[in-house]
Amino acid sequence: MTEGPASFELQQSGTEPAAPTDLHQTATELADWLLLIQQMLKSSIVTIGDSQEIHTTMSRLQVTKGDLEQRHFQLEEIITLAQNIKNKTSSPDLLEKVRGQWDGTQHGVEARLLELQQMIGRSEHWEEQRQKIKGLIGQHEMRFNSLLQQSGEPLTKQISDNKVFRQDLSGAQESISAFTDLSNQLLSDYITDDTRRLTEQTDALNTAWNSLNHRASDLRAALDSEFKSLQTSLRELESFLKWLQETESTVSVVSDSAQREGLSQDSARIRKLKAQLGKQITEIH
């Protein structure tokens, strides 16, 4: 007697019932179906940080979980029938394999669903932090560009503003480091999923931040160099003014002495001093 795909035909041989002719086939088909689900679980890789993609994968797994619940009666029917057959030597290993497959598959689906649910929350948190860090870097980029426009400002003000800016960069480093640690933790926890987007985004932000710090340091070095050059020029100017005062005093003394002695203003010594003075004045101009 045959009654549908889940029914089994029993053949009588003396007083001992034989194994159902389609028990092995049905168990094998169920095992193959479970294997497909297991393969699907292995291929259900999601992009870390992409909540929409994770939601989509979860929806598919929810359907699979429902299918498992609906077909659980097949497993129970196979096991019950096998237990009612005294001569089970033809399929005990297969039945144990199917039972183990079922338990493993069901656990795998439920565990993956839980993992994806947690992944959504962590991905959304990561995305929120990424946006904050992106905005933070953007704000500091704008401030740095403003510093570059201050070339007409007094040098001391430029140096002071640059110092404040670099202090703010140092203070913001904690937020950058925290975001990097968050990304690294996700990379470690979900190493079997697709982490390329997370890695690329994190690397891009760190690269932008490091570039900003380097440019701020370069600007500081340029301002310091300009300040040192200015100090050197001021010292040289002070030395020249001192020499000029001394030369003017000497010329005045010699001129007065020459006049008292009745000597000409064009004496050799005065002409020499005047020539030196004229040379220095020319160099200044």
Q: For residue range 208-233, list pLDDT tens digits in order.
A: 999 999 999 988 888 887 767 777 77
Looking at the chain, the whole-number percentage of residues with pLDDT higher than 90 is 44
* Token pair belonging to 109: 């689906």
CATH number, span 12-121: 1.20.58.60
CA-closest candidate to residue 194, choices 123, 265, 135, 252 = 123
For the chain, the structural domain boundaries read 12-121
Q: At what angle do helices 155-189 and 196-261 cross, to 10 degrees?
A: 160
The helix/strand/coil state of 17 is strand
DSSP annotation string for 51-87: HHHHHHHHHHHHHHHHHHHHHHHHHHHHHHHHHH-S-
pLDDT confidence of residue 273: 63
Q: For residue range 32-52, list pLDDT tens digits in order.
A: 899 999 999 998 899 999 999
